[in-house]
Structure 1
Amino acid sequence: MNKLGLFPAAMLIVLVTAKEIVAVSSLLTRQQVTVVHDRYASYPRWGYRTASVPRSATVIHYQRVSYRYVNGIVYRPVGRTFVVVPPPAGLLVPTLPVGFVNIMIGGTPFYYHYGTYYVKPVGQQGYKVVPPPVGARVDSLPQGYGKISLDGKTYYVLNGVYYQARVNEKGEVEYEVVGSNVNSL
C-alpha cells in the first residue's frame, strides 16, 4: 500500500465488460460504469468502431501507426475500419481541440480535453499528448469512466488514471488526478 492508501495497480484485479467494470478484491466494491459528466456526450466513445473518419481528419504518423486526428478525437486504423482511441502519450497533434481547458501545475501549462492532457513543446509546432499530471483538476470526465471504492474513498478511473471528486472554492465539483498505473499510486 502506498502513501495514498491505495494498492499499486498490479495488485488490483479488474474485470471490464461492455456494461460494467467489476473490481475483484476484498477492499473494492462492485460498481456500475458511471457517466461522470455529459459535456462529451456527443463525442464518440473510446472503442467505437467506424468504417470512415471525417474528411477534415489530419493523418499523424506515430510509432508506425497512421492515426487520424480531428478536434481531439483520435482514430486508429484496424483492418478496414477505424477505432476511436485515447491518444497515446507522445503523439504530437497540430492543434488543440475546441473547448480545451487550461491547467497550471507547478508552473507548467497543461491543456485538457476529453480525458487527454497536452503540453506545448518548446521549439516544436503542435501539442504533445502527455500522461496526466498528478494534482490536475478538471470539471468533467468523458463517458466510460469506472467508479470504485477503496478504503472508504470513491475514485473515478479509466485507462489506469485515478481521479477523486473535490469541491472547489466556488462549491463546484472537480475531479483531481491522484495517481495512475504509470506513475504508481
Structure 2
Amino acid sequence: MNVANISDQHAAKSRAAKLWDQQLADIRRMQSRGDPMGDYLYALGNAEGWLNETADPLKIRDLFNKAAQEGSSDAKIVLGIYYLLGAVPSIYPNSIWLPEAYRNQGVGLQLIRDGMKERCTYAEPVVNAYSDQLRMRYVSAASRVWPAFRDGRSSVDSAGHVYPVIEKNARLEGEWRELDKRCHALGAASE
C-alpha cells in the first residue's frame, strides 16, 4: 500500500511538473501585471520543484518575501510556515529546508497571523487526478501550526546532541487549534 501511495505521489508530481510548464506563461503574465499571486505561484513552484529556476532555500525565501510584500496573503502564510517549521508546506516529499540559522518562530507566527487577517487559508495548487488539470485547494494556515506546539520540534547538532527548536506549548497549541476549527467552521478550507 505504501509503495502504491509513493508511486501515486511521484506520478502526480510528474503530471504537475508538465502542467506547471504549461502554466508558467500564465504565471509570467500575472507577474507582469503586478498580481502578487503570480509571484506567490512562482515561489511555490520553485519550492515544490515544479519550476527548476532555483532550489536555493534563501532565494526561495526571498521569492516568497517579495510576493508577501506585494500583498499576497498566501505568501505571508507560507513564508511564515517556512520560518516556523523550516519547510514550505507540501503534499510532496523532498521539501527544501530553510537553514536553522534563518528560522525564526516569532517572525513566522507574525507572518502567519498577518496573512490570516485577509483569509484563514493559503492556496495550494494540486493536480486533479482525473483530468490532469491544476486546481487550487485552500488549506487552513493554523492546521500547519498547532501540531508543532502539540508535539514540539527538535534538531540534532553536529556533536549529536538533540535540542528543542519548538517547545511543546499547550496554550499555543490550543490557541492555534481553535483558529483552525474556526477556519473550517467558516467553510474556508477545502482540504
TM-score (norm 2): 0.28
Question: Where is the helix percentage greater, Structure 1 or Structure 2?
Answer: 2
Question: Where is the strand percentage greater, Structure 1 or Structure 2?
Answer: 1
TM-score (norm 1): 0.28
- Larger RCO, structure (CA 8 Å, separation 6 or more): 1
